[in-house]
Structure 1
């Protein structure tokens, strides 16, 4: 018997066992991080919006955007309560929800609880919402409308609304229907606007900016993509949804006068994981 060969074989098997055990441990820890840590690790992102059409009276006007909660899939009411508290502490002037409230409206029945939490949110210049693709489908379309209206959110579906501060200035908040399951209509959305004011468009789907740039829009805020939900270093998002494939997360300068911001959302869908794509609440501050 060659003793040296036997020792080498044992050493190799021992090292191989360590590698396999280490890989398994990394896999377990990685999965725990993606499922339990990062999805609950909310990032509050702050963005200034500078534009010459913003009236001086709106300087430091604070808008909070939250999006894609997908209640009923992974995000529960304990987590939802923390989201509501985080938004409330910001004392926003205006609040925007950019779609996908419940993951499946047809199999979710805790509507009264949602209304209680959403009614806790207060903003002196209003709370606004648009449809996401998960807010449509069957009678879900009407149910989402009932929830948001009962929660004192103004649901903008191809329409706009002027926001005024006394007689010293105004801006416009516009909302377009969802691109996947809704019927977005830009002509209808902007048909009632008679004068040129700073206009903020809410579109659940970010890629609709390619249509929005042909209309009097100065800033678009969107969600839908979850930032890809799972990203890999040097590769980026593994999967992006229809109408969220060109613009995935963060800020984009579309032209000299038009910007887009894509919020990564708060919940998850299909897979209960997030990696390198933390859930997000965005605080926009208007600057003159």
Structure 2
């Protein structure tokens, strides 16, 4: 950590400790984490087929169920997603905060099963899903819930004899991501969406035929202070933290979702939980 980063985090932490007392503490713990913000985004690209105009993709990420986020809260989120009538639903990782300690039951499966999308529900591993945490258990739950795993692979989404590509990689931190394998035999002229839990992976994706990358992992920093911004983001979410980024002269768009739940600390401040609703348009 360089001197500037150290001073930024030290001052920010001090201000957070001072400000998080009383009403601010209550707001950051009990109010803002429940203030879902829906981001409606138009994705425009010349390679989007005409038949996919107004095609709607909903992304949710980082629920971290079990750490101050319950299955009952997830049900409310599912209801909100279904209100959007999405064509496609994608989940970009970190379903449960600590899978090896979580009490698994069918309630979670029943809630996730109730998500509705005629063109499919897809997901990728996040770091909290993977490694020594509970790789197989999370996979079994998502499969039982009707989600298709994209682990260094892709799926062809077809509509009126026209196609787009939805691809996904394994988790960067605890998995074995392989974008070359994920895009094997893919026509590079087709519009391609990539799901990658860690947003900084976009610096690898920029060398491939990817039009849009959807990520989570950062939580937007969870706590953001005026004039300072986020205090901390995890590894591989240090460069791209939230919102939209353009790379490769605008030919690659990155969207970083702030996630739904919290982790490590149960607070959100000036960093509301986020749901993305993307609508495709041929440019």
TM-score, normalising length: structure 2: 0.91
C-alpha separation between the residues in 2 aligned to 1:139 and 1:250?
28
SS of 2:109's partner is helix
C-alpha separation between the residues in 1 aligned to 2:19 and 2:258?
29
Match of 1:50 among 18, 32, 44: 44
The answer to whether residue 107 in structure 2 is matched with residue 107 in structure 1 is: no
SS of 1:145's partner is helix
Q: Which has the larger radius of gyration?
A: 1
The answer to whether residue 167 in structure 2 is matched with residue 174 in structure 1 is: yes
Match of 2:112 among 118, 143, 159: 118
Report Cα offsets for 1:256-284 as digits up to 9, x if no partner: 21100000000000000000100000000
**2:225 corresponding residue in structure 1:** 232
**2:140 corresponding residue in structure 1:** 146
**1:164 corresponding residue in structure 2:** 158
| Structure with greater helix percent | 1
Question: Aligned runs of 1:58-137 on 2, under 5 Å?
Answer: 58-137=52-131
Verify the 8 A CA contact 2:20 2:28 in the aligned structure 1.
Answer: no
SS of 2:209's partner is coil
C-alpha separation between the residues in 1 aligned to 2:40 and 2:238?
24
Report Cα offsets for 1:98-147 as digits up to 9, x if no partner: 00000000001234111100000010100000000000133611111101
**1:39 corresponding residue in structure 2:** 33
Report Cα offsets for 1:237-256 as digits up to 9, x if no partner: 10110000000000011122
Report Cα offsets for 1:171-227 as digits up to 9, x if no partner: 000001111111101111111314520000000000000000111100000000000
**1:192 corresponding residue in structure 2:** 185
Unaligned runs of 5+ in 1: 1-22
Verify the 8 A CA contact 2:213 2:255 in the aligned structure 1.
Answer: yes
C-alpha separation between the residues in 2 aligned to 1:71 and 1:246?
26
C-alpha separation between the residues in 1 aligned to 2:86 and 2:60?
12
TM-score, normalising length: structure 1: 0.89
The answer to whether residue 239 in structure 2 is matched with residue 246 in structure 1 is: yes
Q: Which runs of 4+ in 1 moved over 2 A?
A: 23-26
Verify the 8 A CA contact 1:63 1:283 in the aligned structure 2.
Answer: yes
